[in-house]
Structure 1
Amino acid sequence: MKYLKIILLIFLPYFVSAQQLKLENGQELKLHPRLLLLAGQEKDILENVATDKVYRLIHETILRECDKFLSEPPVKEIKIGMRLLDKSRTCLSRVFYLSYGYRMTGNKSYLKRAEQEMLAVANFNKWNPTHFLDVAEMTTAMAIGYDWLYNDLSESSRKIISEAILNKGIKPSLDSTYNGWLGKKNNWNQVCNSGITFGALATYEDHPKLSQEIVDRAVKSIKLPMGQYAPDGGYPEGYMYWEYGTSFNVLFLSAIKTVYGEDFGLSTEPGFINTASFLEHLTGTTGKPFNYSDCISTAQFNPSVFWFANQNKDNSLLFIEKSNTLNNDSLRNRLLPASMVWGIGLKLDDVPVPLKNFWVSEGENQVATMRTSWTDKNAIYLGFKTGSPSASHGHMDVGSFVMDANGERWAMDFGMQQYESLEAQQVNIWNMSQESDRWKVFRYNNFAHNTVTVNGNLQLVAGKAFIEHSSSNPNFLSATSNITSLYADNLKKLVRGVAIVDEKYVVIRDEVENKSKEVNYRWTMATPASVKILNDTTAELSQNGKKLLLKTQLNYPSKIRLYSAAPTNNYDAKNPGTVLLAVEAKLPADCKTALSVFLIPKDEKKLDLKVKALKDWPSDNN
């Protein structure tokens, strides 16, 4: 009897975990691993690796990174400004990659290195709950490593990691001092709910009641940002934050689906299932994104698109991701292993070309994109942005556009400046009021965007614009927006239309009604090209041996001028190799006029550059 008691004491934890807990929906709690990739599914991934060069490239990239991690010391608790996020992301990348590497190869060096990383992080004083994204990503890392490596971690390591997840991840999320993200509609909600849910699911058997409460809370809360995708999949925070918010949203849906067998209807929230198409259309013919708002100017690899392709049974959604994979020697994404999980059942040897050359989003920050081809690298691409500067991560870029042609980006957006560089100089970039420091930053205001400036004034933060008319006619791809509310202090009316005409050139047309005072009107386009002004109405742009002609039409005197894109404040980022091309005119009081700017990528000598009034442009709305 004495020995029986000893045996029971030793093995009781295993007996308890083997007695499957019942989840709220009646399902039995799966044994580890239970997050994203169940036991035995490794073979499905390895089958893809063996038969498909895209998966093989991703797989080999992950293993190559795993080998590098082996010689690197674990992360240390060092903040950059207000954030520990850099360390959280490093930990997530390492633990996710190493856990994947171990499950795919059985290499125990990967197991030991992941365990070392998690124990180091568990020993941090805290995971910086005052900037809760840091906690969320760290909890995601620890949860994946704990769950995927559970059966091969030492009992002491499991205990330390589980307690760290509880005390430094889950419990801080219950504190109202730190959990304001529960009521937010932006990426914070998606990332934080996902991360804490991962922690709760990974350690469910240790505190089933609390874990279930966390899941229930998240299912209710995450509907708020998911509502932002309605009605058609547009995401108001733009290309870069689409990757951030949507990726963690998909992680959340995927995790609860593997545990509960369902996602409680969340994937059917209006617009969400269509949002991968929105992302795809934000990529120009150069491969560069339409990087409006806070966004970097380079393309990103997006693992979550594999999930959307699987859910929609539509491989064409992977057209851009496949291209990014094959043309990029260093796939950089801390969630990269998830693409292998979500790619199970998807064959990439035949990824069809997307069917539509035109996209309009109808959400909070409405965008129109159009192109003449998906496969011709010399094709024309045009992106057009409306919305409001007051939107999350917004810039004063309403009415702005980007343009690609002949394999070059001619009209560009500078994109974001790294937050820490501004915060370190005490610039308050998170105040969105009209007089905020945010709008003094060069890259954030309308002076540096491809839009309009009147009398040297900022756009009005309270203003908001929408895509009012659009046309998917291949001979006149176009969109128009009334952007008057952004300039109501100076103008009676301002409507902008953009179009690709006859698949040959672009026109940007502004129709203006002035108030009772003369105004200085400035049309701006940022460009990386060299610019030669030929006369007051014509300029020649050159880059990489290619040329683009810019011509203007206005029934008042105007001039083309060039302005430096060099920083205007000591805290501004540098903008080497770029220039601001401006068309300037004095518009008299009470005038009604139109400025048309033509961007012609080829030497088209016989073009008829007349353009109709915006009211006569074709429209799919009619």
Structure 2
Amino acid sequence: MAERRAELYEFLEKYLGCMKENAVRMMDEPMPEADEELFSLFEKTGNRLRYEEVYFLRRKYLAVFGCLSILDGGEAYVKKLAGVLRGICGEECWALPAHVHRDTDPDWRICVDLFASETAQALAEIVSLAGERLPEDVRRLVRENVFHRVLEPFANRKPPYPPWEGAGHNWNAVCAGSIGCAAICLMREEPERLEPLLERLLMSLPHYLEGFSRDGACMEGLDYFTYGFGYYVAFADMLYRYTGGKTDLLAQENCHRIALFQQKCYFPSGRTVSFSDGSSRSGYQMGLTCFLAGRYPDMRIPPVACARDFEADSCYRFMQNLRDVLWTKAYLDRLEEEGRKNRRKMDGRQGEPVEKEPDQAPGTEAMVLADAQWNIVHGKSGGGMACKGGHNGEPHNHNDVGSFLYLLGDEMLLTDLGAGEYTKQYFGPGRYEILCNSSFGHSVPILEGRGQKAGGEYGCCGFAADGKGGCEISFAGAYGNSRVRDLRRLFSYDPGTEELKVVDELESEGDIPMRENLVTQFRPEIRDGRVWIAGEKYACLVETQDREGDFVIEEKRHFSHEGMPESVYCVSWKVTEADKTGRRRCCFHVKPALAGERKAHDQRI
């Protein structure tokens, strides 16, 4: 535990140091301007990133000087912050172009979306904590803007406020949590106005919790757990303190299960399950994790190297940044106090007290989230495999029922691409024409040249996992093909050898052409009738049975969530024809190989 405390102190030192380094660079630089030309790009081309780059750089100024004014209190920080606050209050619209409809809504400038809500929360908490160190006119300006742009539009509109109030996804938590925090900060002395607003928010937030599976999984992906639950917890903490402990939003058992979802998504190597709009390299918020670890004894802190530093969140959310410092400090203070108590209990006995270490990454080899229909197994190298059932109407859905990913160490050799670049098309009618959202961007069978269909009615009708590495998924219904009577996929993974066996069994009326499809971001090669996939440190080979003809390798283009182009390789092969009863079977093995084995093979030929 002493080593972990040292890591946390080092994390804090680097985090604060990064903010101060940014402050030095930004002190004499004006905030960039988000003009009409950039705002209109989304409407004209569907591009979100260029406007958002400027928008979030402005929020970086707010986060840097807001946090340092509160944590450090230096006069120069506060003076710069005052100018930043004036600039934010001078923005035409706090919402993003993707969330407003200028062509149909004459009041588009007032839109209580995610980022207007976040901005209101940040400004309200900053003036509440900085207090009279800020000029009176700035405090008045902030108050007027938060009320005019967010609190009053929400309070004055009949429920539900579209599209988030009462919803089962992150928007509900972020918007309601932000509004609740802002209201408590600015209306604490006006209970007659504050209480009805809080009551309304408390009617909305249970629906957010209902959006998680019964085993606590966030179907939108791990990053959306961090995002939505982070705002939920921030509001829960502020409300708990405001009510003197009478209202505790974290007392519900489902909150405990939700909190534990994060640690289930981490492989020992630090890579993460990337289903839906997730990421295979998700970082966690140290502040949120420390707060939850202080609340729930079985909450574990993943490797500190995986924690998000100040620059990791390109949206620079003040709420998270401030709590990364405050909540981590509070957790460290708690550990220090527990250490002192343990030493006192020794009563002068020789030797050091043995301290329980609750915050190490879990060593569980297999985790089954039966309601979410996820199966996650760790391998001895620190990698593992994960597969999913579910349906194709999930939040931030991908058509990926029956898909899987495979890692050796920290290299994902068979991948789930996770979230792509968010564009107008990404959340529009053309969503499933985008590789990462379609079946063709996942390791699932392709039937009659078609992937799975989108919609909650297309999904898994059977999911069973043994908690050791075995899993069976029945997912004929995901394809919406009436001629498909049954489609089963059986996984068998050995955590010791890290070998994975996959068997697909198809039963159909007549012959339905079937191809297997595997997805990787490492360039594969075909050698001796096998597929070789080699990373920098690890490699695997894929051996197939019931294959007809040659392998086909297609290089495709994927745009990452950050908008960067990446190469993706789809390896496919035709499965042998069905027998007279319409049954066909395909079996393939994924086996670890020494990274140098392919080099030796190259030298022999």
The TM-score range, normalised by the shorter chain, is 0.7 to 0.9
Partner of 1:264: 247
**Of the candidates 546, 557, 572, which is equivalent to residue 566 of structure 1?**
557
Aligned-partner Cα distance in 1 for 2:405–2:187: 48
SS in 2 for 1:222: helix
Partner of 1:360: 368
Report whether the alignment pairs 1:394 with 2:397. yes
Give the superposed CA RMSD.
3.1
Aligned-partner Cα distance in 1 for 2:305–2:379: 18
Query: What is the CA-CA distance between 1:597 and the residue it aligns to?
Result: 1.8
Cα gap change, 1:447 to 1:516, in 2 (>3 Å): same
Report whether the alignment pairs 1:149 with 2:122. no
Report whether the alignment pairs 1:414 with 2:417. yes
**Of the candidates 66, 69, 80, which is equivalent to residue 23 of structure 2?**
66
Cα gap change, 1:150 to 1:87, in 2 (>3 Å): farther
Matched AA of 2:78: L
Partner of 1:159: 140
Partner of 2:536: 544
1:462-498 deviation digits (Å, cap 9, x = unpaired): 212277221233xxx2322211210240421112232
Query: What is the CA-CA distance between 1:356 and the residue it aligns to?
Result: 1.9
Query: What is the CA-CA distance between 1:233 and the residue it aligns to?
Result: 1.4
**Of the candidates 5, 10, 27, which is equivalent to residue 53 of structure 1?**
10
Aligned-partner Cα distance in 2 for 1:300–1:182: 28
1:81-105 deviation digits (Å, cap 9, x = unpaired): 2677666644554334423322332
SS in 2 for 1:106: coil
Cα gap change, 1:337 to 1:577, in 2 (>3 Å): same
Partner of 1:380: 383
Matched AA of 1:587: E
Matched AA of 2:385: L
Partner of 1:517: 510
Matched AA of 1:582: S
Cα gap change, 1:270 to 1:463, in 2 (>3 Å): farther
Partner of 1:95: 62
Query: What is the CA-CA distance between 1:178 and the residue it aligns to?
Result: 5.2
Aligned-partner Cα distance in 2 for 1:217–1:558: 62
Partner of 2:460: 465
Query: What is the CA-CA distance between 1:203 and the residue it aligns to?
Result: 0.9
Aligned-partner Cα distance in 1 for 2:6–2:73: 16
Tell me, yes or no, if the aligned pair for 1:550 and 1:598 is still in contact at 8 Å: yes
TM-score, normalized by length of structure 2?
Answer: 0.80
SS in 2 for 1:267: coil
Partner of 2:291: 307
Partner of 1:430: 427
Query: What is the CA-CA distance between 1:189 and the residue it aligns to?
Result: 0.5
Aligned-partner Cα distance in 2 for 1:235–1:597: 30
Matched ranges for 1:472-483 at <5 A: 472-473=467-468, 477-483=469-475
1:580-612 deviation digits (Å, cap 9, x = unpaired): 1123224326333432221111369xxxxxxxx
Percent identity for Structure 1 against Structure 2: 15
Aligned-partner Cα distance in 2 for 1:151–1:199: 18
1:517-551 deviation digits (Å, cap 9, x = unpaired): 21221221211223221244x22222225421111
Partner of 1:499: 492
**Of the candidates 583, 587, 605, which is equivalent to residue 592 of structure 1?**
583
Matched AA of 1:193: A
1:262-292 deviation digits (Å, cap 9, x = unpaired): 3724213342223243222223355332222
Partner of 1:132: 113
Report whether the alignment pairs 1:123 with 2:90. yes
SS in 1 for 2:437: coil
Query: What is the CA-CA distance between 1:430 and the residue it aligns to?
Result: 3.4
Aligned-partner Cα distance in 1 for 2:60–2:191: 28
Aligned-partner Cα distance in 1 for 2:7–2:399: 49
Partner of 2:212: 229
Matched AA of 1:340: V
SS in 1 for 2:29: coil
SS in 2 for 1:498: strand
Partner of 1:369: 376
Matched AA of 1:415: G
Tell me, yes or no, if the aligned pair for 1:233 and 1:277 is still in contact at 8 Å: yes
Tell me, yes or no, if the aligned pair for 2:401 and 2:475 is still in contact at 8 Å: yes
Matched AA of 1:430: F
Partner of 2:566: 576
TM-score, normalized by length of structure 1?
Answer: 0.78
Matched AA of 1:167: H
**Of the candidates 301, 304, 327, which is equivalent to residue 342 of structure 1?**
327
SS in 1 for 2:500: strand
Tell me, yes or no, if the aligned pair for 1:88 and 1:138 is still in contact at 8 Å: no
Cα gap change, 1:50 to 1:459, in 2 (>3 Å): closer
Tell me, yes or no, if the aligned pair for 1:550 and 1:599 is still in contact at 8 Å: yes
Tell me, yes or no, if the aligned pair for 1:236 and 1:391 is still in contact at 8 Å: yes
Tell me, yes or no, if the aligned pair for 2:263 and 2:361 is still in contact at 8 Å: no
Matched ranges for 1:173-188 at <5 A: 173-174=154-155, 175-176=157-158, 179-188=162-171
Partner of 1:246: 229
Cα gap change, 1:102 to 1:430, in 2 (>3 Å): closer
Matched AA of 2:19: I
Tell me, yes or no, if the aligned pair for 1:559 and 1:585 is still in contact at 8 Å: no
Gaps of 5+ in 1: 1-47, 605-622
Aligned-partner Cα distance in 2 for 1:539–1:410: 12
Aligned-partner Cα distance in 2 for 1:510–1:369: 18
Cα gap change, 1:165 to 1:134, in 2 (>3 Å): same
SS in 2 for 1:101: helix
Partner of 1:557: 548
Query: What is the CA-CA distance between 1:345 and the residue it aligns to?
Result: 4.0
Aligned-partner Cα distance in 2 for 1:112–1:275: 41
SS in 1 for 2:68: helix
1:298-326 deviation digits (Å, cap 9, x = unpaired): 32232422221111134x62123x12249
Aligned-partner Cα distance in 2 for 1:551–1:366: 27
Tell me, yes or no, if the aligned pair for 1:232 and 1:272 is still in contact at 8 Å: no
Cα gap change, 1:51 to 1:286, in 2 (>3 Å): closer
Aligned-partner Cα distance in 1 for 2:267–2:393: 26
Aligned-partner Cα distance in 2 for 1:518–1:51: 60
Partner of 2:200: 217
Partner of 1:602: 593
Aligned-partner Cα distance in 1 for 2:236–2:511: 56
Query: What is the CA-CA distance between 1:558 and the residue it aligns to?
Result: 5.5
State the number of aligned residues: 531
SS in 2 for 1:182: coil
Tell me, yes or no, if the aligned pair for 1:372 and 1:503 is still in contact at 8 Å: yes
**Of the candidates 76, 92, 117, which is equivalent to residue 109 of structure 1?**
76
Query: What is the CA-CA distance between 1:186 and the residue it aligns to?
Result: 0.8
Aligned-partner Cα distance in 1 for 2:27–2:13: 21
Query: What is the CA-CA distance between 1:407 and the residue it aligns to?
Result: 3.5
**Of the candidates 42, 62, 65, which is equivalent to residue 81 of structure 1?**
42
Matched ranges for 1:34-45 at <5 A: none
Aligned-partner Cα distance in 1 for 2:452–2:569: 21
SS in 1 for 2:435: coil
Cα gap change, 1:369 to 1:57, in 2 (>3 Å): same
Tell me, yes or no, if the aligned pair for 1:406 and 1:601 is still in contact at 8 Å: no
Tell me, yes or no, if the aligned pair for 2:521 and 2:569 is still in contact at 8 Å: yes
Cα gap change, 1:164 to 1:566, in 2 (>3 Å): closer
Matched AA of 2:539: K
Partner of 1:531: 524
Cα gap change, 1:584 to 1:336, in 2 (>3 Å): farther
